[in-house]
Amino acid sequence: MTLLGQDLGLTPRKGFFTDTTVCIGCKACEVACKEWNAVPADSSGLTANSFDNTGELSANTWRHVAFVEQNTDEGFRWLMSSDVCKHCTEAACLDVCPTGALFRTEFDTVVVQQDVCNGCGYCVSACPYGVIAQREDDGRVFKCTLCYDRIGAGQTPACAKACPTESIQFGDLDELRERATARVEALHATGETKARLYGADPDDGVGGNGAFFLLLDEPEVYGLPPNPKVTTRDLPAMWKRAGLAALGLLAAAVVSTLGGRR
């Protein structure tokens, strides 16, 4: 696969807006993702956590529907949410990949080239969301591509196409953010004061996400980190300090050597 993202900035950034308030937990997105991308099955039954049968995002689960059961003052309710790779603006996985297997496309999404991946696993630990995972049989990493092949052909990603309630919405990221903001305002007007956007803020710890969510509770309730930060943000300063320390050791060694010759 060749790098097609040379015209970055000329193509509107594409992304996902997942409105969890209308998710019915049907898992059509999980099935469509697996079918289109030929992702192997990875579940033999329920996890004993409500109706969840996949547990989390993994190399073989690129869409994961979470079921959160809650007893509130108004009664019992389910919070359902289809999780996916966030396609971060500041993507740590890209920073640490030594082979260029991970690249940013012309749609500003992040994709893994499996034929270039060497299975080092650096991206696995670098991802602040725990999205990227390795397959046990060969060690290579796999994750959501935002259906790069489909959107390149002008089609909608398989998961969004299959969603019967339009909980998963695909389109230009700026337009999705405007739509999501209006949706939150509408929910607040009806008394749903806990409604908030997650991953839509360009000033957050990862520069905003290409896949963001409308939540009805704290991010932790959905299994999401509350304040994700790009894990490689401090790398330049760390390398600078390491370089200064190395120069100091070298200088000390030179002084010691010269002093021993007298």
Instruction: Report DSSP letters for 5-18, one per residue.
Output: GGGTTTSPPEEEEE
Domain range enclosing 238:
233-262
Question: Which tops the pLDDT comparison, 252 or 2?
Answer: 252
Structurally, how many domains does the chain consist of? 2
Q: Could you report the per-residue pLDDT of 221-260, keeping only the tens digit for each?
A: 999 999 999 988 655 544 444 454 556 667 666 666 666 6
CATH number of residue 162's parent domain: 3.30.70.20
Helix then strand then coil, in percent of the chain rounded to 5, is 30, 20, 50
Quick one: 201 exposed, middle or buried, by C-beta within 10 A (0-12, 13-18, 19+)? middle
Residue 45 has pLDDT above 80, yes or no: no
Model pLDDT, residue 256: 67
pTM of the model: 0.83
Do residue 188 and residue 225 come from a single domain?
Answer: yes
First to last CA, the chain: 61
Contact 55, 180 (CB under 8 A): no
Give the mean pLDDT of 57-64: 95
Residue-averaged pLDDT of the chain: 88
Q: Are 208 and 237 found together in one domain?
A: no
